[in-house]
Amino acid sequence: MRKIPLDIVALSHSVSQSHNYAVVLGEQDGSRRLPIVIGAFEAQAIAVAMERMTPNRPLTHDLFKNAMDTFGIDLKEVIINDLLDGIFYAKLVCLRKGEIIEIDSRTSDALALAVRFNCPVFTYEFILETAGVILDDSQGQEGEVEKSLGITEEPEPAKKGGPLSSYSIDALKTMLDEVLAEENYEKAARIRDEINKRTQGS
């Protein structure tokens, strides 16, 4: 069965399921998107790794990666291999001493590990046919992608006087240090995004 490579193209709040998030995987050589609803903890674990943040203490997925590294196990790829009753299933394809080992995994956990190992993510055609969303040319912008998939960015709560855009770069950096110390990685990711937007735009 041919494997189709995917990239993580968005990580946002799910409108259809409150208190959950949606990770959107995009077909590398096509216009299809695969939205998968995940929990807040798993979304945080993916965001922390994508933003290259270093927690004060290792998160569960960091601990798992450290254990795999210690015992000489390399994660070669993640495959989203099944879809039953609306639930995605995945497996970790690992290499240890020349032996390939496959481990069943929740898809959200598999993606959190894939980001940490910088390994490829694949799925099969029948899964994209069943759950994929095809975008036309008018939906090329990522904001339109998210809107078409029924997800939205989490609004920044009014706190300490206003949204992140009202703070200076220095204030944002101070706030980033504070929320990292509190291990609030979800907010830290939003602050890092705001800092990057300012510095890249200058």
The neighbouring-strand residues paired with 104 are 91
Predicted local distance difference test score (pLDDT) of residue 15: 54
Q: What share of residues in the chain are helix, strand, coil (percent, to 5)?
A: 40, 35, 25
Predicted local distance difference test score (pLDDT) of residue 140: 46
CATH superfamily of 3-152: Bifunctional nuclease domain (3.10.690.10)
* pLDDT tens for each residue of 57-81: 888 999 999 999 999 999 999 999 9
- Quote the tokens at residue 44: 């945080």
Predicted local distance difference test score (pLDDT) of residue 151: 44
Predicted local distance difference test score (pLDDT) of residue 131: 92
Q: Phi/psi of residue 65, each to 5°?
A: -65, -45
Which residues of the chain fall below pLDDT 70?
A: 13-19, 135-163, 166, 201-202
- Quote the tokens at residue 10: 């968005």
Domain boundaries, the chain: 3-152, 164-201
What Rg value do the Cα atoms of the chain yield, rounded? 18
185-201 vs 169-181: helix crossing angle, rounded to 10: 160
Residue count of the chain = 202
